Structure 1
Amino acid sequence: MSETEAEDRDAAAIAALRRRQDRFLTETLPGALAMVNLEEADGPVPVEVAPGRDIFGRTCVLRVGGRDWRFWFGLNVFRLFAIHFVPVDLQNPLFRAACERHEAEDFIDWLRRDVFAFTFGGAEKIGYDVNWEVIEVDGRRFVSVWAVALCETDFLERPELRLFWAQDLAMMTESFIRNAVRAELTFDPAVSPRPV
């Protein structure tokens, strides 16, 4: 095989990986997200993959109970990402009742310990690393929560792995929404989570 043929073969393989990656984010994952089961939903949850993409991720919008929930999901061949933005709300009555101090770092601790302990604790058990950071977007503060998992290197080649990870992300998303509603968290539908 000539060097040119090898380069052409590699270019075709990379293009095929990108198509599979995009298909996971635009078809497989939204199909799993549509099966999210919430009391606020009347039947299947409408899922929209927002137009446009960045390097390897997409924003998905779930419409539940008259509210839009925005999540950013990314797939870098076999590294999976889920990013959520939670507005810092130091006036949230449940937060104020649970914490003596009312600073942004206390808000993160409350989210981690009281609101999303099971959501992200379960994710950590199967291999996600979960990170929490206060950020500013358009003059407003948010807690950026991003979960990252390393999948098997042949993830895109194996349908059972794609289904597993899509359903796992859907379960994490369902748990996130349920716990956010219970904690009376408010979200700005105009702000989409994204890598920071």
Structure 2
Amino acid sequence: MIDSKKLIYLPGWAKVFIVAAFGLCLLAAVYVSLAFVGVPDHSDWILLSLSLAQLAATALVLSLILIFGEREANLTFLISKTHNLLLKNLPKTLGQIKDSHGQELTVSVSAINNIFGANYRLENSNIRTKMWIGFNVDRIIVAYYLKTNEPVDTLKDIFKYTFGGAESVGYKINYEPATIKGTGEQVLSIWCTWPGMQNHNDISNELLNSPDKKLFIIQDIAMMTQSFIRTAERNAVDIFTDADPAPL
């Protein structure tokens, strides 16, 4: 596979095998060439083995460059990958969410806004909600809004399993009451950030360039959102606001 940082993305054993194979071919060709030096009527063998040695040497150099060579990720390419993740990958995965009745939700997504994020609206006949998700290379932000007058501590207790589980994989959760400018709507913003620190190890490196890490985080966001929706249904919490969630 081609990767934006590594030109060839292969498992370690495959890299070693390819380099070793070309290296052995080179050594064998050189050995044959030297073995026939001075032997009458074997000049054709010497020419053939030298040609093979040249080909093996060229292949070895190219394989080393392609397999182990690195280049800087193109900025435009990274932006394109971010937009693709936000506008295509995430909506598709969020569309697999089911409410507490087992029904899937329709997902609509906005254009990119607030620099590196997008708004999502999830709804069916039972429930509807909005969220904002931002991807800043290796930092992820998920924002939910609640329309409620309940104390923050009460809501923390209601959603303790939803966001407690998120914290166990590295999320930092913040709760902030706010009044929406212009409408006066009272909301509670639940702000989830994923710096990817777990047991003092940074697990968010190369997020945009790693298919398995991207799959993990978008599926994890979907699972957290499904838990958020089902918990709200069970506890009759209004999770649909007039305002679109966004960084405050």
* TM-score, with structure 2 as normaliser: 0.64
Partner of 1:129: 172
Q: Is the partner of 1:25 in helix, strand or coil?
A: helix
Cα RMSD, aligned residues only? 1.8
Residues 175-196 of structure 1: per-residue CA shift (max 9 Å, x gap): 0001111111124443211000
Q: Is the partner of 2:236 in helix, strand or coil?
A: coil
- CA–CA separation in structure 1 for the residues paired with 2:227 and 2:159: 8
Which of 222, 231, 235 pairs up with 1:170? 222
Q: Is the partner of 1:32 in helix, strand or coil?
A: helix
Q: Is the partner of 2:97 in helix, strand or coil?
A: coil
Question: Are the aligned partners of 1:87 and 1:187 in contact in 2 as well (CA < 8 Å)?
Answer: yes
Residues 5-63 of structure 1: per-residue CA shift (max 9 Å, x gap): xxxx97x8111111111111111111111111223454x42211123522001001111
Partner of 1:48: 108
Q: Is the partner of 1:156 in helix, strand or coil?
A: coil
- CA–CA separation in structure 2 for the residues paired with 1:80 and 1:13: 20
Partner of 1:179: 231
Gaps of at least 5 residues in structure 2 are 1-70, 197-203
Which structure has the larger Rg? Answer: 2
- CA–CA separation in structure 2 for the residues paired with 1:78 and 1:85: 24
- CA–CA separation in structure 2 for the residues paired with 1:86 and 1:150: 24
- CA–CA separation in structure 2 for the residues paired with 1:147 and 1:155: 17
- CA–CA separation in structure 1 for the residues paired with 2:95 and 2:172: 25
Partner of 1:143: 188
Question: Are the aligned partners of 2:148 and 2:237 in contact in 1 as well (CA < 8 Å)?
Answer: no
The aligned length equals 169
Q: Is the partner of 1:51 in helix, strand or coil?
A: coil
Partner of 1:94: none
Identity %: 31
Question: Are the aligned partners of 2:148 and 2:238 in contact in 1 as well (CA < 8 Å)?
Answer: no
Which of 94, 99, 118 pairs up with 1:58? 118
- CA–CA separation in structure 1 for the residues paired with 2:173 and 2:99: 24
Gaps of at least 5 residues in structure 1 are 1-8, 91-106
Question: Are the aligned partners of 1:81 and 1:147 in contact in 2 as well (CA < 8 Å)?
Answer: yes
